[in-house]
Amino acid sequence: MANHGKRFQELEKLVDRDKNYELREAIALVKKLATAKFDETVEMHFRLGIDPRHSDQQVRSTVLLPHGLGKTVRVLVFADGEDARAAEAAGADFIADDEVINRIMKENWLDFDAALAVPSVMPKVGRLGRILGTRGLMPNPKAGTVVQPEDLPRAIEELKAGRVEFRNDKTGNLHVPVGKASFDEDKLYENASAVFDAVMRVKPAAVKGIYIKRVALTPTMGPGVRLETNPTVASA
């Protein structure tokens, strides 16, 4: 506690560290913990029983949040020709032609929140892997962000509506936003439930024993609240 400020320490007193909270109860508490001067993001943090060193134990997918993330999502699409025109008509904020690709490479221009690509331009996009990959912006078929041209309108609409990509980090943890602290409790509950279900659906077959070891709900600037995990589900 000594590493945190006075505000954080006071908020920690509201959390029972020996308790696993039911989701609705945790949401109500997290909303009280979000006392910063901005609208804090609420995140779910998963400690998974995977070995992230093995390729067959990676957890990566997307989830469409029923109530979005409470922010405007700027979508960039890597496409050219007719595909680029279709993406623009479908609501893409930016079309990444050769000029934009060079701008990303030379200037680290990243004024967008999500990226899509059609397969035909992926050889060009591949050169941006180091820049986009570290920020979670690299289009990838597994994440549903490399799509056929006819699927661009749907993919753009879903990203703007609140489709979130998640993947485990090097320590086997997941960090997934579920909305803003200003959301009402029902919206946060439905978003968080969608995230939990999505994580369960992509359990790697190679994982033995407990898959979801621990889940916590946190506001951006406040302490975490540990959640109950269904024992029959967590050990499935």
Q: Per-residue confidence of the chain (236 residues) as pLDDT tens digits?
A: 445 678 888 888 888 888 999 999 999 999 999 998 999 999 999 999 999 999 999 998 889 999 998 888 899 999 999 999 999 999 999 999 899 999 999 999 999 999 999 999 999 999 999 999 888 899 988 888 999 999 999 999 999 988 888 989 999 999 999 999 999 999 999 999 999 999 999 999 999 889 999 999 999 998 999 998 753 333 33
- 156: domain range? 75-161
Residues 198 and 167 in one domain: yes
Domain boundary among 144, 161, 178: 161
Domain boundary among 161, 189, 213: 161
Domain boundary among 116, 134, 161: 161
Q: What was the pLDDT predicted at 230?
A: 56
Residues 137 and 178 in one domain: no
11 is a domain residue? no
Compute the distance between CA of residue 50 and CA of residue 52 in angstroms, rounded to an integer.
Answer: 6
Partners of 43 in the β-ladder: 177, 218
Q: What was the pLDDT predicted at 231?
A: 37
Best CA proximity match to 124, nearest among 146, 149, 142: 146
Cβ-proximal residues to 25 (8 Å cutoff; 6+ apart), any chain:
none
31 is a domain residue? yes
Domain count, the chain: 2
Residue 174 class from Cβ within 10 Å (0-12 exposed, 13-18 middle, 19+ buried)?
A: buried
Q: What was the pLDDT predicted at 135?
A: 84
Task: Provide the CATH number for the domain around residue 112.
Answer: 3.40.50.790
Q: Are 125 and 78 in contact (CB under 8 A)?
A: yes
Q: pTM higher than 0.85 for the full model? A: no
Compute the distance between CA of residue 36 and CA of residue 59 in angstroms, rounded to an integer.
Answer: 32
22 is a domain residue? yes
Look over the chain and give the mean of its residue pLDDT values, rounded to a whole number: 90
Task: Provide the CATH number for the domain around residue 221.
Answer: 3.30.190.20
Cβ-proximal residues to 86 (8 Å cutoff; 6+ apart), any chain:
79, 149, 152, 153
Best CA proximity match to 159, nearest among 198, 116, 193, 202: 116
Residues 62 and 87 in one domain: no
Residues 177 and 211 in one domain: yes
1 is a domain residue? no
Q: What was the pLDDT predicted at 178?
A: 95
